[in-house]
Structure formats: structure tokens, C-alpha cells
Amino acid sequence: MRTLLTGGVKSGKSSRALVLAADWPGERFFLATATAFDDEMTDRIRRHQAERQGQFTTIEEPVELHRVVRNAMVVDCMPMWLNNLFFSGREAEWENLLAAFIAALPTDIVIVTNETNMGIIPADPLSRRYGLALGLVNARLAAACDRVELLVAGLSLRLK
């Protein structure tokens, strides 16, 4: 089943993704979009790797998700993917890259994203463009998935 998990930061999305993926038979894959650009991010990546405890074959790809996506995969996470595009000068490519990713979606996949635009409007143009793009990314992924869950305080609410 194609599943999208959305919610706030630290709402339990990544843990929920691992629970859903535990039911898949055979080899499971984890597509990590994060890049270790500072010490905090390096530490966060290590914590996520420890949480997976060798249950997945990890593939690291910050931008070209459609090239490495496969069945029985967790993709974590779309906001970091979009961040990678914005800060590598590839902001204009997000729609085409997302369309290629959606076209390549396999039968069994869990995609993790963050819910955005639920608070104040950002003061700067870059943050507004990012929030708008992530909202569109989420809507397009939700339309392409069979199941969508919203996580709040570690609790999951099925939306679709």
C-alpha cells in the first residue's frame, strides 16, 4: 500500500513508518534524504539509523528520488528533500522531480513528510516559497497514495 505520513516535527511519523514497514516480507529499503550539513544533523542521522537497527537496506539520495525508489521502501523525508533542492540552487526543478518520483511509486511504500502552513505566514520570501512548495508536494503525494495518516503527539489519525 502507498502510504503518506504527515504531521508536525517530532510527532511520531518516522516511528510509525517503521511500524508499517515491519509487515512487509523480504528485504526492506530505507531512502534517506538528509545530508549531514552540521553536527546536529549528523547526530540526528545517527539516532535514526540506530532506531532502524539494521532492519533496512539504507539508500542515501538527497535529490533524485525517482532513480532509487523501489518496492518495500520507507522514504524519510520529503521536507528535507525539498530543502536540498532549494539550497543547492535547484528550486525550479521540484515539480518535475516530484512528478518523476510519483510516476515511479511502487506498490508498497511509506513516505514521511511534515505538515506546514498551519501557523503564521513567514516573513521572508524564501520561507514563503518553501512553505507553498511543501504544501503542494504534500497534496500531490496525498492524491497519489492509497492511505494518508496525520500524526499528532504520537497518535495517528487516518485521513484517507
Active-site annotation, residues: 48
The CA R_g of the chain, rounded to the nearest whole Å, is 15
Q: Transcribe 95-121 into DSSP letters.
A: HHHHHHHHHT--SSEEEE----SSSPP
Residue 100 burial by Cβ neighbours in a 10 Å radius (0-12, 13-18, 19+): middle
Distance CA 72, CA 50 (A): 19
Dist CA 75 CA 53 (whole Å): 16
